[in-house]
Each structure stands twice: as C-alpha cells, then as structure tokens.
Amino acid sequence: MNDAYATLGITWTLANTTHTVNSDWFNKVGPDASEQTDMKKALRQGGVADLNIQLWLWRWSSCYSGAPADDGVVILYSSLPGGTASPYNLGATLTHEAGHWVGLYHTFQGGCSGSGDSISDTPPEAEPAYGCPTGRDTCSGGGVDPIHNYMDYSDDSCMTEFTAGQATRVQSQMYTYRRVVIAGQSQDLDDSIDM
C-alpha cells in the first residue's frame, strides 16, 4: 500500500494488530449493517489521523467529526494478497477503500456529466470498469477511462495509479478533516476549521 500511496505523499505505518473473534460480526457486517457500526465502535483505536482497518467497506475522511467511533475502513478478508476473492486479491481493495478514507471519490462518480470525482485530471467515466478494458472510453471528449486508477473497480492487477489532482485533493482533505499535513504540502493552511 505504501507503493501505491507514494505519489500522494502518504506513508502508512502499522501501529498495532489485534485479533477479535466474533461470528456475528464476521457473518453480518456490511456497508449498511448496524453490526458494522457496532464493530467499529468496539474496536476503534487512536485518533482522527489513525486509519483503523477491520477485515471483513467504506468511510469518508469527512465523516470523522460526526461519527469518530465509526471511522476506518472494512474490507473482505479474502481480498488481501493471496486471498480467494480473485481478481480482487492482490491488495488493491484496501488501497481503494483507504482512498475513500483520505477523501477520494470513485473515478466514475457522476458518470459523464457534472463534476465527476471533483478531480480535473481524472477523465470522466460513465460507469465502473471491471476486468482491465484497455482503451475503453465511455464518455466522449474527456479521454480514455481511468481504468488503472485505484478509485475505479478494475481488477487488482489493472490498478496502478493515483493522479496528481488526486494528490492535491488528498492533501486538502487530510488537513481539513484530520489535521494531517502530507509530505511536501504547504504549511500555510487555514487553521480556522473546527474539528
């Protein structure tokens, strides 16, 4: 994951690993399930700048102030490298979900119209990519679809990049919502935001 985030100026450091056995959480946790919130509340460690990862899907950087105990990402354990969730078992699921945690949207957000993922150097994309459809262009005029971007749904083996625009957004989001200054980021940031 550090290789993927190097272009964004982020280095992840494992601070702690705990093991909890709870068959109810394992079998019922999902993006809209109350068990996910219960699990995160029970297991949450650290502060606003600490990404918690529970193995079993998403949390936005801006959600921390409203629900700090629910902060972090949850992923299917079999999506880790060597897992059985092929073609999503090379580790890119965690890279993708952590992308939401640092403030990024899907590359296909909004389809071909509107502000999309709010990043000017990410071409618009009508819908998520599956597999690795090289040369796919679902929106006219914006360039080929960003199928290699970690914020799409392409196969793990196809995901290789974040853009410079995504790096800029991450710097802003991480400072605004987590008070984390990314390496190389200007120190002249607005300190008036209430956490």
Rounded distance, CA 171 to CA 146, Å? 21
Residue 68 CB partners (closer than 8 Å, separation 6+): 44, 48
Residue 172 CB partners (closer than 8 Å, separation 6+): 103
Can you read off the two tokens belonging to residue 94?
């965690």
From 97, 125, 127, 161, the catalytic residue: 97
97 counts as catalytic: yes
Rounded distance, CA 93 to CA 91, Å? 5
Distances (CA, A) of 90 to 9, 83, 93, 118: 22, 8, 8, 27
The three-state DSSP-derived secondary structure of 157-191 is: HHCCECCHHHHHHHHHHHHHHHCCCCCCCCCCCCC
Q: Which residues are catalytic?
A: 97
